[in-house]
Every structure is written in C-alpha cells, then in structure tokens.
Amino acid sequence: MPVRKIVTFGHPVLHRAALTIRTIDQEIVDLARDMVLTMHAAPGIGLAAPQVAAGKRLITVDLSVGEKAEELIILINPEFLGTDGEAVSEEGCLSVPGVHEDVRRPGQVAIKGIDLEGNERVIEAEGLLARVFCHELDHLEGRLFIEHLSPLKKTLIKKRLKKTLENDGRE
C-alpha cells in the first residue's frame, strides 16, 4: 500500500481540470486507498487526485487525520449543490509548501459525489469541513488556493515559489 509523492506548485497536473471518472474499477479503488495513506502520512486533512499526479475527479477528506475511521470521506466526481455565507480563515496546501494565507470561502456548502461503492452521497458542511471541500474541489478545477488571494499577494507568492523551484533545480 504505497504512499504517493505529492506534487507541488509548477507541476502541470495541478493547473488543469481533472477528468470525470466513468467507472469505479480497481485502479480507482487503489488510487483512493493510496490517497488516504498519503494524506494521513503528510499529515493533511484533504487531498485531491491531481495532488498525487492523477488527473481524475477524486477527493479524500479526513478532519481527524486518521484518528476516527468514520470521519473519512472519499468522493468521486464531487460537485457543489449550493453554497452560503462567507468565512475567512487561514489555509495551507500540501502542494504549496510553506505558504499559509487567509482565504475567503463560503461558510456553508452542500456537495454531492459518489462513494467507492457507487452510491450517491450528499453532504452538507460548514466551518472547516466546508473549507476543505472548497479547497479540494478547486484542485479538481486546476486552481490552487493562492488564486483566491489579492493580485499583489498572488504575484509575490508565485515569484517566491518559482524561485524555490529554480533553486531546487526542478525548473
């Protein structure tokens, strides 16, 4: 059961929309399992398939970071049914290491998706869970949380991240 490498800012898969999953086959089940292991090992509370270089519409969320199995959420092809309110809170991202900024998001969301057994799930969430859903669904659209920042802040962060990539010899 491998922990996958989390790709970071600059990787092409993070900047394009993920593909709809048409069939829940062993490849998808394995990807979901690996994503849960990777998310817990990081440790993180949410992970989208593009973050492990898989351009598919799959997310894993676990606010307990592996402490409570019943809190694990795995959704295929998740989408918003509605959003309400507004909340500002600090966010970070496993794919944007070292960056934490306040981001404005809906305070409440309703989403639907399909679980690994093929059942449709509708989840209403608020607070941190709503924020994580917004963050992970952004990943499925090829957006990073820094896209929600002011133009100046976004430019400064992107310059810093690109410089880090150059210094690491990855670009």
Q: Give the catalytic positions in this structure.
A: 136
CB 46 within 8 A of CB 63: no
Give CA–CA dist 88/148, Å, rounded.
Answer: 11
| CA of residue 162 relative to chain centroid, distance | 21
Please report, as a single letter, which amino acid is at residue 50: P
Total Cβ atoms within 10 A of residue 104: 11
